[in-house]
Structure 1
């Protein structure tokens, strides 16, 4: 399963969306046939999609309204382009590219510490983000509206050089409220304000780990969606009990915070291929991860989530679901993730050969315990 997990649009569950007489779409389903020049535009949401869209829409719209339920932590992007000289050096000395990438990876890795409750790096990141906000926004009222009321990384951290400046334009208004209803000619906010609009753009995120998009039936006749339920679980992000030979490239708790998606995906594929090679060597037809191994791993993860702001449940974020379960992120850095994957072997699975069916229960005593080094 390499379907990904951030491309199925999530629309707000409010009445009236089908009554709107203007144009509307989700940020992931952009309508390129509509010219926004001179239009009154309402953007619902102020997170990752909005910080990219708002600055561009603000340049052409007659008026832009941005709905924000809660403020986000935003860092400057400081976008820079490599000079001709730098590009020549990269071509001549390819090792410089790798060194540059390693430095960038190290810096991105600091976000893991910044998300750790009580860590000094969190205070550093919060201070830096607030200093950026203070310098970018002079209006004290607007600045207060944009000041987060949660810990850094409780929600997805954002990076933008032009979102704050866009909000200071005369034709742009930030409304610190959510969406209550859509009317024929606009929107109604949660503080009962009616705002007229010609176009509504939903920057409201995606359906994360949506298992009902395909009809997969496991060994016991249960669908994947039924097995996962509201709190999906997978062993080390790549397999779940009852579904022999069914692998996830990025499954539940299979993504490392602020590590490139492709890096994690490539590592998962490497692990899956390694298991397939072991199957061939041992003459095994299918693998079904043991329930006991999976349960032990899930229990360990539950003890780790509380260490991080994104697992605290102190804010409204797609990192946690309505029940407080963290279905998305791995509770550690990429080095730990890679170490865990190196330990995966046939000993973690019920082995199936020929016409055999998976065991109905795991072998007694089967468990999983991280080594001391991995618990740090």
Structure 2
């Protein structure tokens, strides 16, 4: 049978997209999930201390209120449970095929459908939606001797919960968003902890606190209060945007918070100097934590800034010395700019997406790719944020994609394909606007491709993106009418 829509991935993007399609009357929706459970990044990242850095009342679907979040910044397990609740409540749980990894998707132009090859067989669908996200494939660093280590080693997104860190000598490689959360937890158990820092992050205080029962009751029972609170959080976060994409100097107040957080957490002047980044604030992701700097100040924790030369069977070697360790944890991030890799996606005229994107990923509004009809991306190029909730961006994309599907149905079309000139114009606009952003002020970040292009982030307000994706413009697409 030919399905109406197939979605790849069951994180916030895939689950929300399936819900919105079903609400629009598209009930024959299938979600393909390579893992054995839903949740995407919130299923994969179970490291100690895992939590969101966006307030809970905004890091949730607008159509499914949750008034009883336990904390202002939700922990991983609670977010995952929320996603499971949404999938069950809206009837998409039984539409997920677990343990089914997509290896290839090929557009059959004659039949106007996608043939999707998976580890469990082949499916056919009129519409294909990628909900893979940008943070789903862990990166292990290319360090000489990495495979020679005889102790326990793992990436933070594949945390080995069977590894007992109590009393062990632990090395952590990387100082990104995950490390800032799990390092304080590891420091509580390890006999020795050595954190290998290539680049210091900006870390500011985290205004976190538990919600009390009376606050939950008010949010759940006073008409309009939940919506007002959500709007307040949105406006507060959105106000920071102009500092990222137009006037970086406006981030000076955030830099003051960083200085105070560092001074309050670290007394040692030498350690404090080593923790001051050498790039403008905002160029890389700004991190939040109340316990990261105090953890680094503990006597059994050592910050190592000398570059790693190699991993040995017994530990980690720099130019200065070798550090013997029992466990290595890699907090080294994800492959972020390939989007649909390692899947092979083939569009019209046999064109491969990897070839189309050899100079960097491009998609009109981060959603549609010229030459790949009826293919839609969630959290695609130019849609990541540095200041607000990605769920807001996803919901904008849900509406746009549903609008495209309704155009197909209403006008009796086999397929629509965004025009190359429309996509090129959008890409030129993004690259021009990106030049004035803090992300292009000289640092090396996961926002960039290997040749230095920032292709992940949206250089504007999120409400401007919502306006741009309000409805698809028929003039932006080529189309083929269905045979009568």
Aligned residue in 1 for 2:60 = none
Gaps of 5+ in 2: 1-129
Change (3 A) 1:263 1:223: same
Counterpart secondary structure, 2:345: coil
Q: Is the 8 A contact 2:156 2:178 kept in 1?
A: yes
1:127 to 253, 256, 266: 256
Q: Which runs of 4+ in 1 moved over 3 A?
A: 116-120
Q: Which stretch of the first structure deviates more once superposed, 21-30 or 80-89?
A: 80-89
Match runs of 1:92-131 below 5 Å? 92-116=221-245, 118-131=247-260
2:456 to 307, 323, 328: 328
Displacement after TM superposition at 1:213 (Å): 2.0
Aligned residue in 2 for 1:338 = 466
Displacement after TM superposition at 1:119 (Å): 4.4
Residues 158-208 of structure 1: CA deviation (Å, up to 9, x unaligned)? 00011011001111011123433111001123x443211100000000011
Distance in 2 separating the partners of 1:39 and 1:4: 35
Q: Which stretch of the first structure deviates more once superposed, 346-355 or 265-274?
A: 346-355
Aligned residue in 1 for 2:341 = 212
Residues 208-252 of structure 1: CA deviation (Å, up to 9, x unaligned)? 143332222110212222221251111000011110111001111
Q: Give the TM-score of the pair, scaled to structure 1.
A: 0.90
2:185 to 56, 59, 64: 56
Aligned residue in 1 for 2:205 = 76
Displacement after TM superposition at 1:117 (Å): 5.5
Q: Is the 8 A contact 2:337 2:448 kept in 1?
A: no
Q: Is the 8 A contact 1:256 1:333 kept in 2?
A: no
Distance in 2 separating the partners of 1:179 and 1:234: 37
Distance in 1 separating the partners of 2:192 and 2:275: 20
Aligned residue in 2 for 1:17 = 146
1:3 to 96, 109, 132: 132
Aligned residue in 2 for 1:166 = 295
Q: Is the 8 A contact 2:366 2:379 kept in 1?
A: yes
Distance in 2 separating the partners of 1:338 and 1:143: 41
Distance in 1 separating the partners of 2:406 and 2:351: 28
Distance in 2 separating the partners of 1:329 and 1:205: 17
Displacement after TM superposition at 1:38 (Å): 0.6
Displacement after TM superposition at 1:288 (Å): 0.9
Q: Is the 8 A contact 2:169 2:193 kept in 1?
A: yes
Displacement after TM superposition at 1:120 (Å): 4.4
Counterpart secondary structure, 1:18: helix
Q: Is the 8 A contact 2:360 2:453 kept in 1?
A: yes
Distance in 2 separating the partners of 1:326 and 1:222: 24
Gaps of 5+ in 1: 356-376
Q: Give the TM-score of the pair, scaled to structure 2.
A: 0.70
Displacement after TM superposition at 1:353 (Å): 2.1
Structure whose residues are more often strand by fraction: 2
Distance in 2 separating the partners of 1:220 and 1:111: 44
Counterpart secondary structure, 1:279: helix
Distance in 1 separating the partners of 2:292 and 2:282: 19
1:292 to 421, 424, 427: 421
Q: Is the 8 A contact 2:403 2:471 kept in 1?
A: no
Q: Is the 8 A contact 1:284 1:351 kept in 2?
A: yes
Instruction: Tell me the matched-pair count.
Output: 353
Aligned residue in 1 for 2:104 = none
Counterpart secondary structure, 2:224: helix
Counterpart secondary structure, 2:413: coil
Residues 24-64 of structure 1: CA deviation (Å, up to 9, x unaligned)? 00000001111000110000011101011100000010100
TM-align CA RMSD:
1.6
Aligned residue in 2 for 1:259 = 388
Match runs of 1:241-280 below 5 Å? 241-280=370-409
Are 1:195 and 2:339 matched, yes or no? no
Higher relative contact order (CA 8 A, sep 6+): 1
Aligned residue in 1 for 2:37 = none
